[in-house]
Amino acid sequence: MVEVCLLGSGGMMPLPNRWLTALLYRYNGKMVLVDCGEGTQIPVKLAGWGFKNIEVICITHYHADHIAGLPGMLLAIGNSGRREPLTILGPPMLNDVVQGLTIIARELPFEMKLIELSGEIPTTNSVGEILIHSIPVEHTMPCLSYSIEIKRAGKFHVEMAKKYNIPIQFWSRLQKGEIIQHKNQTYFPAMVLGEPRKGIKVSYCTDTRPIEALVDFVRESDLLICEGMYGEEEKLEKAIEKKHMIFSEAATIAQKGCVKELWLTHYSPALENPEKFYDNAKSIFANTVLGEDLLRKTIYFE
């Protein structure tokens, strides 16, 4: 199973009743944090999942509401007792941005691995079984959307393992996808595994216009977390100017991409009551949820 927690639902600036949009994702004890605006460590603390097992921080872009909380977050992770390396992914200029921000967090007890992702083509990185895909999107500066995926191998067939006389001590390793060589014999996972089963896919898109590539990128996501900067249809012109989305545009991406569930987030500070415009999204994509701080979901394998 995969657990997700929307740490905040705001854009531009944290408000007394609304933290900035960020996602905390957990699978098999490993966590991925997507975005880290001002004060993000507070909702992380409130979520109760701890800091130590954050393996990767994914940054969408370098506006303050998505990265200015990074020094404090790194210090909180260090104070939690983490000593293992931590990976940070982000668009071009990642090295310069992180070096500048961490001038006030110089003595961290762990190594940082900085991976600058392409601002022009999709990329994929892995953390154990967790696959992190990125795609460039359309904002006022280089920006990425992310998709976090757990693939699932086919069902293990005991009868096939017995047919090929595979020693039982190798069964679990084959089930995990390893190729085993033993006494001049080579055992392949395909000898004992059925067709791959459906995994779990969570996509995260903020600060972008609804480009066509996003539809395929988020396709068949179990959960799409997508910005709805403005609720009103009348704000479309402003959304185009500022390179953001309105509720109906996010819902259209969810509908075209055949996702299972949509969470709206990254509300403008001026959008005090998102529920007033809920039907603008729900009329297009029925399984739409208005994001709110610390909204959680557990997603199980089918």
Dist CA 56 CA 296 (whole Å) = 19
3 state SS for 169-227: HHHHHHHCCCCEEECCEEECHHHCECCCEEEEEEEEECCCCCCCHHHHHCCCCCEEEEE
Tokens 């359309």 label which residue? 138
User: By 3-state DSSP, what share of the chain in percent is helix, strand and coil, each rounded to 5?
Assistant: 25, 30, 40
- Specify whether 96 is catalytic: no
Dist CA 132 CA 148 (whole Å) = 5
Beta bridge pairs of residue 224: 203, 262
Burial 137-155 (b: 16+ CB within 10 A, else e): bebeebbbbbbbbbeebee
Dist CA 196 CA 270 (whole Å) = 46
Q: Which two tokens stand for residue 37?
A: 């605006």
CA-to-CA dists, residue 185 to 167, 174, 177, 181, 191, angstroms: 11, 14, 17, 6, 13
- Of 65, 207, 222, 293, the active-site residue reads 65
Report yes or no: 222 and 261 within 8 Å, Cβ to Cβ.
Answer: yes
Which residues form the catalytic set?
65
